[in-house]
Amino acid sequence: MPTSMSALEELYVEQVNEAVAEGRMDLVEQLSDEYLDKALQLLLETS
């Protein structure tokens, strides 16, 4: 898992853009949920 919020965001933006380009809105939703979970985990680990 990325160690900074900006690295995490960069990773997920790239993955979401690829999913949108492929018309995979189901994957976009899944990635969105994963991002929120991982962002919260990262915030809790760094506080």
**CA-CA distance, 14 to 11, in Å (whole number)?**
5
pTM (2 decimals)? 0.85
- Sequence ranges of the domains in the chain: 5-46
1-45 pLDDT, tens per residue? 788 999 999 999 999 999 999 999 999 999 999 999 999 999 999
What is residue 1's predicted lDDT score, i.e. its pLDDT?
A: 74
- From first CA to last CA, the distance across the chain in angstroms is 17
DSSP symbols for 1-47: --SSHHHHHHHHHHHHHHHHHTT-HHHHHHHHHHHHHHHHHHHHHH-
